[in-house]
Amino acid sequence: MSCASSPACTQKKVVYSNHAAKALKHPANVKFVGDKMKADLHSHTHYSKDSITRPRTWARAARRAGMGAIALTDHETTRGWKPAKEECKRQGVLFIPGIELRVREDDRDVMEVLGLFLTEEPRRRGVESLDEVREQDGLVVVPHPFDRRWNRLKDQPLGRFEKLIDGVEGFNARVFKKEYDKQAVSWALKNNKFQTGSGDAHIPREVGMGYTLAPCGNDLEELRRALKKRATRGEGRKSNILLYLPAILANRGVWPWFLDL
Ligand SMILES: [Zn+2]
């Protein structure tokens, strides 16, 4: 049964909608802003080498941040899917299986991509991984496409991969130069791609700092349709450079494993 036709779901939505006015002032605590659901579409747990968050803490942080849905996109692995999905169910947050992959050419990184709504971990890597995401009926999203720290496409326009891309991040909480977000939004509009927003969280506090606003009910298929219709946009607040420290230490293997912030 779709969400719209389910009385329980409609009721829930009305409750959220009653908070809509409040939500505009305090969007951190509610899943809906008006008729739009909040979904963080790029996020990490400690299955990524540079993240410290346990799946249970991650899902709870998503609920507290008011996310209707959240995608787990650990670097090169899907090992966190099972525990994260189970905890999301307990927390009443919709779980989206995803991954973040590095695309390399001639032995150098050229960009990172997110595969969303996957059914299994892509076996192929590099540019071919994008085909595999699409074969699974997943969506290919380029995170922080214009931030030079991650994407080194200065001399190779993003357009080179344009046909393989479904959407780009129009807001990423870890992209400090707003100019880069603006460039991403312009590129999406010009190339007919959808826009997302994300916290790109590596610690619990960053979960839901950025999110996608999607005109849909509390339902993953509706969210997916809203993305495909290019009816979404990204928003949120920026992270703080100090919050990078745990991720940097974790990446070097010197973060105490028992600290989960
Ligand atoms: Zn990431």
CA angle 65, 66, 71 (to 5 degrees): 80
Q: Is the dihedral of CA 208, 209, 214, 216 positive or negative?
A: positive
pLDDT at 107: 77
**DSSP calls for 24-35:** HH-GGG-SEETT
CA of 163 to the centre of ligand 1 (A): 22
* Beta-sheet pairing, 194-198 with 210-215: unpaired
Contact 67, 207 (CB under 8 A): yes
- Residue 211 is assigned to a structural domain of this protein: yes
Average pLDDT, the chain: 85
- Residue 258 is assigned to a structural domain of this protein: no
The CATH number linked to 158 is 3.20.20.140
Q: The tokens of 228 are what?
A: 């495909």
**DSSP calls for 153-201:** -TTS-GGGGGGG--EEEEEETT---HHHHHHHHHHHHHHT-EEEEE--B
CA of 72 to the centre of ligand 1 (A): 10
Residue pointed to by tokens 């209707």: 68
- Residue 95 is assigned to a structural domain of this protein: yes
- Residue 68 is assigned to a structural domain of this protein: yes
- Residue 77 is assigned to a structural domain of this protein: yes
- Residue 91 is assigned to a structural domain of this protein: yes
pLDDT at 244: 73
pLDDT digits (tens, 9 = 90+) for 140-153: 999 998 887 766 55
**Domain of 169, in residue numbers:** 3-20+29-251
Nearest one of 240, 248, 178 to 209, comparing CA atoms: 240
CA of 172 to the centre of ligand 1 (A): 10
Count of domains forming the chain: 1
CA of 223 to the centre of ligand 1 (A): 21
- Percent of residues, the chain, with pLDDT higher than 70: 82
Residues with CB under 5 A from ligand 1 (ion): 100, 200
- Residue 260 is assigned to a structural domain of this protein: no
pLDDT digits (tens, 9 = 90+) for 24-70: 444 566 899 989 999 999 999 999 988 889 999 999 999 999 999 99
- Residue 259 is assigned to a structural domain of this protein: no
Range with lowest mean pLDDT among 133-137, 146-150, 162-166: 146-150
